[in-house]
Amino acid sequence: MLGRDVEFSFPPKRIVSVVPSQTELLHYLGLEDEVAGITKFCVHPENWFRNKTRIGGTKKLNIEKIRELRPDLIIANKEENERDQIEELAKEFPVWISDIQNIPQALQMIQVVGQLTGKEAKANELVDEVVTGFTNLQKATTPKRVAYFIWYNPWMSVGHDTFISNMIHTIGWQNVLQHESRYPEVNFEHLKELNPELVLLSSEPFPFKEKHLDEIKAILPNAEVKLVDGEMFSWYGSRMKDAVGYMDNLVK
């Protein structure tokens, strides 16, 4: 998805996935034996998390452990992984990198991963199911102005060029940080100026709790504040199938 050429033996027999949402996709596609290594953040499915070799975190990969696994394909992501580590791995192993900012790109990723792994038919079925789900999704009746937070101290939100922002737009809401890019820091004075009607506090990467809702309510007493499942907003892959129903309940 970055326009790079990647050569590898097809179909791959020893895959290392360094992105949680793409790991879950590989499981959905039925690659039980082929996936040799995953990160410590690849918590789905649980039996893989417990039994597959863990090769560090998404930002701090254990290069030596990956070498020991002798992968014939590494599946990574431009945003989630560190460029220098991926470039180091690419000198020794085939590395395929996704780049995802919206739902169409996520669907493209699913199709390509299916092609790369010999699971094209299963991947295409998933894409069809996700497309149908989002097509039939009843969008919000009023386009609420939403602030979505992913991090605490500093408070960080999402700009227009993120998958999360695209999900917010897709369900009929408006991102109050639409004029920003990537993951901007937002102080409380700025948040007051933005005056969102709805504030969403994600379960990941920072695990917001009830006490954080109180902080927001203290400065935005008229806003609705909710804790939300961050996986439903940010995991591109097979999780998108579950996200349809989650979003449907959220916007009602």
DSSP per-residue string spanning 158-212 = --TTSHHHHHHHHTT-EETTTTS-SS-B--HHHHHHH--SEEEEESSSS---HHH
Is the pLDDT assigned to residue 252 strictly greater than 90? no
pLDDT at 15: 98
Instruction: Encode 22-35: b = buried (16+ Cβ within 10 Å), e = exposed.
Output: bbbbbbbbebeebb
Q: Residue 23 is encoded by which pair of tokens?
A: 């790991």
In degrees, rounded to 5, the angle at the alpha carbon of residue 230 between the alpha carbons of residues 42 and 148 is 145
pLDDT per residue as tens digits for the range 184-197: 999 999 999 999 99
d(C-alpha 200, C-alpha 31), whole Å: 34
Q: Give residue 29's pLDDT band: very low, low, confident or very high (50, 70, 90).
A: very high
Distance CA 162, CA 208 (A): 20
Q: What pLDDT shows up at residue 146?
A: 98
Assigned CATH topology for domain 145-251:
Rossmann fold (3.40.50)
State the average pLDDT over residues 153-157: 97
Q: What pLDDT band is residue 2 in, cutting at 50, 70 and 90? A: confident
Alpha-carbon distance 64 to 49, whole Å? 19
Strand partners, 53: 37
Distances (CA, A) of 221 to 195, 213, 252: 10, 11, 22
Answer whether 15-134 and 145-251 agree in fold: yes
As a whole number, the mean pLDDT across the chain is 96
pLDDT of residue 1: 82
CB 120 within 8 A of CB 232: no
Q: What is the mean pLDDT of residues 164-171?
A: 97
Domain assignments of the chain as residue spans, ordered by start: 15-134, 145-251
50 by Cβ neighbours in 10 Å (0-12 / 13-18 / 19+) ranks as exposed
Strands 73-77, 15-17: parallel, antiparallel or unpaired by DSSP? parallel
How do residues 173-232 score in pLDDT, each as one tens digit? 999 999 999 999 999 999 999 999 999 999 999 999 999 999 999 999 999 999 999 999
Concatenate the DSSP letters of all residues of 60-112 into one string.
SB-HHHHHHH--SEEEEETTTS-HHHHHHHHTTS-EEEE--SSHHHHHHHHHH
d(CA 27, CA 54): 15
Which one is the CATH code of 15-134: 3.30.565.10, 3.30.360.10, 3.40.50.1980, 3.30.700.30? 3.40.50.1980
Band of pLDDT at residue 76, cut at 50, 70 and 90: very high
Q: Give the span between the Cα atoms of 236 and 99, in whole angstroms.
A: 11
